[in-house]
């Protein structure tokens, strides 16, 4: 990714410094860090792994991995450090996001220098841009739900499919298209990524309530910020009308203070919500494995992607 960030002097040095900060390469004074805080690199890793598992050359997938890889959710922290918007304000943070979006497209263009057919290149570019639009749709659903707190169970799954799972699905599918000209395998890898992405987001919801902030890197529990996630939506279906009205009122008038957070945590525990939510995680991880199995042949193995599933299933952040 570094090769796609130009070195600029003067005023523009701060723009690219912000990008380096966001990517975890430097501190907020733009001093390069010895220890990088770059997150999981999940989507780019899946892209490379999909290419390798199908017998492709991983270096051919590097431009796509670079392209794939906090303003809108208003989190003050990201990966244990202040968010970009919190330091430099919305306008500069949004502009930095636009710059990263453009750099991603420039990185993707390097696929023309790899041994990939024009037909597959066109599929990759179409899928990438279609995914960007889908992400915007998912983010719109999420922001709208934050405002009116009327997110329904079915809308939740539509939101996480569009906002989180689609990008993971695209990462896997693009990796397969770089390795092979097989539309059926590309679709199976897409379906794999979609199921994996849904499981990943539900697991994030669990960590957002019961995870350790020192490990997850999130500044506060989702309950304090009044964020409606799957555990809370499952809970709403289990409790009586009186508790349901109180719970919805709390979410509509966040932040939620400790006394009420403790009341919600007791409701979650008494209704076995952590176990019920984990069942959903397991269901989608198993679906992801099933889609991988459907692609296996003597020449197609999925060792790398299976190891990613195993690691994600046991993660704590």
Return the pLDDT at 167: 93
The answer to whether residue 1 is domain-embedded is no
Task: Residue count of the chain, please give it.
Answer: 317
Q: Alpha-carbon dihedral of residues 220, 222, 226, 229, nearest 10 degrees?
A: 170
Find which of 74-78, 104-108, 112-116, 235-239 is predicted with most confidence, using mean pLDDT: 235-239
Return the pLDDT at 218: 63
The answer to whether residue 20 is domain-embedded is no
Q: What would the mean pLDDT of 9-24 be, rounded to a whole number?
A: 87
CB 205 within 8 A of CB 231: yes
260: Cβ–Cβ under 8 A, 6 or more apart, which residues? 250
pLDDT of 222 over the 50 cut: yes
Q: Would you place residue 311 in the very low, low, confident or very high pLDDT band (cuts 50, 70, 90)?
A: confident
Return the pLDDT at 70: 46
Q: What is the pLDDT of residues 209-221, one digit of tens each?
A: 998 777 765 655 7
The whole-angstrom distance between residue 133's C-alpha and the CA centroid of its chain comes to: 15
Residue keyed to tokens 């599933």? 309
The answer to whether residue 30 is domain-embedded is no
Q: What is the pLDDT of residues 261-273, one digit of tens each?
A: 999 999 999 999 9
On the 0-12 / 13-18 / 19+ scale of CB atoms within 10 A, 227 is buried
Distances (CA, A) of 155 to 61, 118, 190: 34, 37, 21
The whole-angstrom distance between residue 145's C-alpha and the CA centroid of its chain comes to: 18
pLDDT of 37 over the 80 cut: no
What is the token pair recorded at 43? 């989507």
Which domain range does residue 247 map to?
39-313
The answer to whether residue 11 is domain-embedded is no
What gap in Å lies between CA 158 and CA 139, rounded to an integer? 11
Return the pLDDT at 177: 95
Return the pLDDT at 149: 63
CB 300 within 8 A of CB 229: no
The answer to whether residue 252 is domain-embedded is yes
The answer to whether residue 154 is domain-embedded is yes
pLDDT of 79 over the 90 cut: no
CATH number at residue 87: 1.10.600.10
Q: DSSP readout, 71-111?
A: TTTT-SEETTEE-HHHHH-HHHHHHHHHHHHHHHHHHHGGG
The answer to whether residue 32 is domain-embedded is no
The answer to whether residue 47 is domain-embedded is yes
Helix or strand (DSSP H, E) at 190? helix 183-210
183-196 in b/e burial notation, b at 16+ Cβ within 10 A? eebbbbbbbbbbbb
Number of domains making up the chain? 1
Collect contacts of 287-291 with beta carbons under 8 A, ≥24 apart: 287/195, 287/199, 288/192, 288/193, 288/195, 288/196, 288/199, 291/188, 291/189, 291/191, 291/192, 291/195
Q: What is the pLDDT of residues 180-197, one digit of tens each?
A: 999 999 999 999 999 999
What is the token pair recorded at 160? 């996480």
What gap in Å lies between CA 317 and CA 234, rounded to an integer? 22
The whole-angstrom distance between residue 119's C-alpha and the CA centroid of its chain comes to: 28
What gap in Å lies between CA 120 and CA 186, rounded to an integer? 10
Averaged pLDDT score across all residues of the chain: 87
Return the pLDDT at 71: 46
Return the pLDDT at 205: 94
Q: Would you place residue 164 in the very low, low, confident or very high pLDDT band (cuts 50, 70, 90)?
A: very high
């Amino acid at each position: 990714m570094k090769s796609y960030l130009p070195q600029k002097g003067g005023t523009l040095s701060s723009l690219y410094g912000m990008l380096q900060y966001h990517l975890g390469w430097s501190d907020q004074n733009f001093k390069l860090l010895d220890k990088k805080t770059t997150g999981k690199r999940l989507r780019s890793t899946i892209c490379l792994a999909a290419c390798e598992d199908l017998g492709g050359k991983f270096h051919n997938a590097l431009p796509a991995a670079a392209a794939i890889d906090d303003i809108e959710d208003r989190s003050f922290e990201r990966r244990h450090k202040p968010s970009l918007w919190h330091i430099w304000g919305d306008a500069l943070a949004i502009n930095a996001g636009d710059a990263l979006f453009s750099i991603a497209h420039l990185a993707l263009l390097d696929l023309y220098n790899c041994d990939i057919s024009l037909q597959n290149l066109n599929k990759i570019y179409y899928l990438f841009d279609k995914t960007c639009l889908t992400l915007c749709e998912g983010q719109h659903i999420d922001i709208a739900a934050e405002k009116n707190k009327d997110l329904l169970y079915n809308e939740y799954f539509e939101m996480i499919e569009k906002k989180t799972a689609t990008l993971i699905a695209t990462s896997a599918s693009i990796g397969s298209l770089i390795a092979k000209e097989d539309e059926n395998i590309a679709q199976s890898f897409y379906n794999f990524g979609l199921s994996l992405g849904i499981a990943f987001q539900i697991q994030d919801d669990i960590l957002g309530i019961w995870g350790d902030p020192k490990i997850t890197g999130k500044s506060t529990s989702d309950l304090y910020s009044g964020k409606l996630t799957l555990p809370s939506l499952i809970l709403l279906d289990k409790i009586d009308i009186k508790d349901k009205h109180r719970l919805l009122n709390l979410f509509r008038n966040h932040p939620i203070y400790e006394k009420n957070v403790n009341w919600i945590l007791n409701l979650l525990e008494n209704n076995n919500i952590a176990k019920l939510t984990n069942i959903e995680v397991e269901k989608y991880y198993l679906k992801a494995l099933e889609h991988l199995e459907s692609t296996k042949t003597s020449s197609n193995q999925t060792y790398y992607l299976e190891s990613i599933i195993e690691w994600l299933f046991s993660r704590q952040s």
